[in-house]
Amino acid sequence: MARSVRLVPALTAVPLALALTACGGVHGTPGGSGVRDPYFPKAGNGGYDVTHYGLRVDYDRDAHHLTGTATVTARATKALSAFNLDLLGLEVGKVTVGGETARWNRAGQELTVRPAEDIDRDETFHVTVRYSGAPETVTDPDGSREGWLRTSDGALALGEPTGSMAWFPGNHHPSDKASYDLTVTVPRGLRAVSNGELRSERTARGRTTFVWRTAEPMASYLATLAIGDFGITRSTARDGLPVYTAVDPVEKEGSRAVLARIPEVLRWAERRFGPYPFSSTGAIVDRAADIGYALETQSRPVFPGAPDITFLVHELAHQWYGDSVTPESWRDMWLNEGFATYAEWLWEEDHGGETAQETFDALYDGGEKTYEDLWSFPPAEPVDAAHISGAPVYQRGAMVLHKIRRTVGDEAFGDLLRGWAADRRHGNADTADFTAYVEEQAPGKDFDGIWEDWLYGEGKPERA
């Protein structure tokens, strides 16, 4: 991600709605309505782990109307008499569990489902939700927007931190990753671009249906859907890796040269970070006036207008750090942004620019002139949800990594970057996991001062 602070606004309660069938006997317990994230406590849900999302959506651009069917496959982590899905705004028409109609009710972003029969612990179950309506745009206190964004020629779905609940029901917390199949139908002449690989495209009766598949685990905030008059370029990178880029015609000329460097950036990143973790890559470039920030949407990052090379490096580095290795909670955002920011430093160092040490020194000596809040809180403990994308998370997070590099040496640091990406590939991690990993890889080194002063310490640390 490359933007300012993010925060989910208060949600308006939706009236209770019940299906007509009776609920079975209660032998299990309800799943939790959140996973107690330190900044977004109602995000996600307890009692189950999603393994796959099967999404079918049809969008009428002129009417701004979305019709969807979501089939969520999950494994119960405890016996369940009921469970919750996160869904914002859209109207629910019907819910089934295992093919049987289920009772349900709405309260804000919470869709509570009561299956006809209780679900046993470790049981795999399928819940299907039919829904429709005008998908919402969520405006954060800093003015940035997420959820479903209407653009000049279509729409763009962005989900960090919780905006994905604006267009499909699910377990919308980064700790629960799943594979995805997305079938989307739009008016003929428009394109629908998402994560992963395009499996098919067909047109009938004035509408075109695109089928996308993401086989590798993905957090819901990294799911995207871009609908518009995009120019499409298909090519390959190393070993035949598919590169699929979608560019708004307004941004075509400005984007051409930098997007052509995607294979070059990936070759460099693989040397630095290890094997690329996904089965395709690319980018989505929409009009700068339509969106206000970039986002590292998995395998196909989104850019607001033509990116420069540093911007491209940042978002592609996230494919390792943030997308493959995903934070356990929103408190751990520095594991995304500190790493992607340090990737920018490494790119400059490797391509004749400032060394990482020179970048570190410039930040230490005068960084507060550019980033007023640079020393306002430690990167591993943002003060609240409004600050999870503040400068300390990005810049001071990168400084933590540089301090580790100075402690262990360049060769060992390179091994550490690649090893961390490999050790947690397609999984989740929190800050404690990372600090433990560093200490395990360099048992003879003392990191106490880095953790205490740079990672968790208040104010500006001593330079030493």
pLDDT tens-place string over residues 144-166: 799 999 999 999 999 999 999 99
pLDDT at 142: 67
pLDDT at 150: 97
pLDDT at 140 over 80: no
pLDDT confidence tier of residue 141, bands split at 50, 70 and 90: low
In the chain, % of residues over pLDDT 90: 91
Predicted TM-score (pTM) of this structure: 0.94
Average pLDDT across the chain, whole number: 93
Bridge partners for 227 per DSSP: 155, 192
Question: In this structure, what DSSP letter does residue 123 have?
Answer: -
Which residues, 6 or more positions from 326, have their beta carbon under 8 angstroms from its beta carbon? 174, 175, 177, 219, 222, 427, 428, 429
pLDDT confidence tier of residue 23, bands split at 50, 70 and 90: very low
The amino acid sitting at 96 is T
Mean pLDDT of all residues in 184-210: 98
Sort residue 47 into left (φ over 0), alpha (ψ -120 to 50) or beta.
left
CA 450 to chain centre: 28
Pairing of strands 145-150, 91-97: unpaired
pLDDT at 380: 98
pLDDT at 3 over 80: no
Cα–Cα nearest to 182, from 171, 190, 173, 192: 192
| 401-453 per-position pLDDT tens digit | 999 999 999 999 999 999 999 999 999 999 999 999 999 999 999 999 999 99
Q: How many CA atoms lie within 13 A of 427 on its CB side?
A: 10
pLDDT at 387 over 60: yes
Q: How far apart are CA 226 and CA 210, in angstroms?
A: 12
Question: In this structure, what DSSP letter does residue 321 have?
Answer: B
pLDDT at 7: 31
pLDDT at 17 over 90: no
The larger pLDDT score, comparing residue 94 to residue 14, is at: 94
Query: Are the C-beta atoms of 43 and 328 separated by less than 8 Å?
Result: no
Q: How far apart are CA 228 and CA 89, in angstroms?
A: 23
